Amino acid sequence: MNIAMAVFIACSVMAIVGALALILAREPVHSALSLVLVMISLAILYLLLGAAFIAAIQILVYAGAIMVLFVFVIMLLNAGEEVRTNVSRLAKWVGLPLGIFFLLEMAYSLFHEFNGRAGAATGGTFGALVPASTEQLSMKLFTEFVLPFELTSILILIAVLGALVLAKRES
Amino acid sequence: MEFVTHHPVLVVSLIKIAIALFVVMTALAYLTWFERKVVARIQSRWGPYWVGPHGLLQPLADGIKFLFKEDIVPPAADKISYVLAPFLALALALTTLALIPIGPATITILGQPTQLVISHSSVALILLFAISSIGIYAVVLAGWSSNSKYPLMGGLRSSAQMISYEVSLTLSVVGVLLIAGSFDFYDIVGGQSGRWFHFLPKWHIIPQILGFICYLTAAIAETNRVPFDLPEAETELVAGFHTEYSSFKFAMFFMAEYANMITVSCLATLLFLGGWLSPFPATWHWQLYLPAAGLILAGIGLIVGGLRGVQLSAKLVFPVLGIVCLGVGYLCTFAAVMPVIQGPFWFIAKVFFLLFFYVWARGTLPRFRYDQLMSFGWKFLLPLSLINLVLTSLVVVLRLR
């Protein structure tokens, strides 16, 4: 087992544990921090695939900006521990089996897809698809994908305006 | 041994980390001493004086004191977050330093080509920002997990302040990125070599003077230093986010703050002040002797000053330090050492100047009020950095045409 494989397994475990803790934690701040853990592990996985720029942006934007705002709001509202209500029966009897089914299906198809192809998990195929350098990435982003890119920014602007309208409305 | 031969990169990195950690930890300790001395001088006081000659052992005494204080965890605190916060603060503050190169890319030490950086990355700048943006959590977590009024206020203030000023900080750097066209520190500094009008060094500070001012201001706010030290304003919030911390956990926050100061100064040096490049033209060969000359002058000063001093300890210690300085200075004139020492010498000199600026600002300026802080950040600094960005991109595009 090489170092990359060890890092991959460690980060995957960290991401899964973080995702579980996000749902199971009762304290909102703990949930937010678990999500940060998930994002950082994902960033390390990107780094492992050779996409350093995307890894850095992942941390900078999601963990460094968005989640900080989340934590800030949680602290500002001084939100206490969550109160557990009775879980809905539909979620219990339909949702749980369905979730497990999808998990198994995903595991099966991934295993089927990559079985016997060594190095797939450490960026053999995925690494080739992702533009490695920042230059290539920005070229793609500002020529081929310029319309979705600009539309996304307008979408975010609309969200900001919406928040402003809600905040400024006379009650 | 097999592991060593199989992973030479790992071993070299570990050696570099060990050296860097030792140097940075010592620098941190003596930065506190330096700050207290300079602020004392600004305020017509002596500063630390009695622990060792001229208070030189004060950082050591402080460290030992922190270690032996009782380590208190408030019963109402959130244990995990409370313990995690100081570790996070110090670990992240030190991690960023791994990305900072202190000398040119091609250098040979003991016949071996070496880079004077722990981790070289093509997106080093943005990685550095990413790591330091996580550092906010340390402050926020410390404020929240203490479960107490003043720390919570400090944590809230701090997160609001850091979010606000990070925008300006990042935008002020984009101007440099546009000119350099790379995230790699070697490319950014390499682009600053050369002269304007045959005498002015081609550093980014000259076309990017607006960006430099924005960066420096936002950087002081990001590191929670005077005049932006609202998260720990003593007169309002006792000590802000670290009120409930004691013993070595408090010391870790303290060290993290100083480590962040060093990181921010290093970044300013790399981006705006030409990194390890000499301010003199390459044809002036006497400049190669400057590090040696500086050390020898410092050595003579230490010997003369020490012998004329009042304290007995100063009379004994300073001449010894002076002789060490003379020895190292003489070593710097050797042909094997001289070219290696040039880059780090200029780099450290520039970082030291910026650190002095930090301390100077602390000794001079009063603290902002909270509303002033916010309006300054959003209504003055952000537009200024945006104007700088627009102007720079305009010039870059026009020159491409």
The complex's ipTM works out to 0.75
Q: Does A48 touch chain B (CB under 8 A)?
A: no
Residue B7: list chain A partners with CB under 8 A: 3
Placement of tokens 């809905």 in the chain: A88
Say whether both A94 and A145 belong to one domain: no
Say whether both A121 and A142 belong to one domain: no
pLDDT in tens, B299-310: 888 778 777 777
Nearest CB to A75; choose among B78, B80, B144: B144
Q: Please tell me the distance from the alpha carbon of residue A79 to that of residue A87, in angstroms, as a whole number.
A: 21
Asked if B229 contacts B47 with a C-beta cutoff of 8 angstroms, the reply is no
- Please tell me the predicted confidence (pLDDT) of residue B136: 84
Q: Please tell me the distance from the alpha carbon of residue B8 to that of residue B2, in angstroms, as a whole number.
A: 10
Question: Which residue of chain A is at minimal alpha-carbon distance from B121?
Answer: A52
Say whether both A116 and A136 belong to one domain: no
Contact state of B78 with A29 under an 8 Å Cβ cutoff = yes
Residue A134: list chain B partners with CB under 8 A: 122-123, 183
Nearest CB to B159; choose among A40, A56, A71: A71
Nearest-neighbour CA in chain B from A103: distance (Å)? 31
Range of the domain at A38: 1-81
pLDDT band at A124 (very low <50, low <70, confident <90, very high): very low
Nearest-neighbour CA in chain B from A18: distance (Å)? 15
Quick count: other Cβ atoms within 10 Å of Cβ B289? 14
Say whether both A98 and A145 belong to one domain: no
Asked if B103 contacts B118 with a C-beta cutoff of 8 angstroms, the reply is no
As given in the structure block, the two tokens for residue A23 are 């749902």
Residue A120 scores a pLDDT above 50: no
Q: Does A125 touch chain B (CB under 8 A)?
A: no
Distance separating the N- and C-terminal Cα atoms of chain B: 57
Helix (H) or strand (E) holding B26: helix B8-42
- Please tell me the predicted confidence (pLDDT) of residue A157: 93
Say whether both A105 and A155 belong to one domain: no
Say whether both A146 and A118 belong to one domain: no
pLDDT in tens, B1-33: 566 666 677 777 888 888 888 888 888 888 888
Say whether both A11 and A73 belong to one domain: yes
Domain count, chain A: 3
Question: Which residue of chain A is at minimal alpha-carbon distance from B149?
Answer: A78
Say whether both A147 and A97 belong to one domain: no
Q: What percent of chain B has pLDDT over 70?
A: 93
Say whether both A19 and A45 belong to one domain: yes
Say whether both A41 and A62 belong to one domain: yes
Asked if B267 contacts B36 with a C-beta cutoff of 8 angstroms, the reply is no
Residue B152: list chain A partners with CB under 8 A: 75, 78
Say whether both A1 and A59 belong to one domain: yes
Say whether both A141 and A119 belong to one domain: no
Nearest-neighbour CA in chain B from A63: distance (Å)? 7
Q: Helices marked H in chain A — which ranges?
A: 3-24, 28-48, 52-57, 67-77, 89-90, 96-114, 126-129, 134-143, 146-168
**Helix, strand or coil for residue B90?**
helix
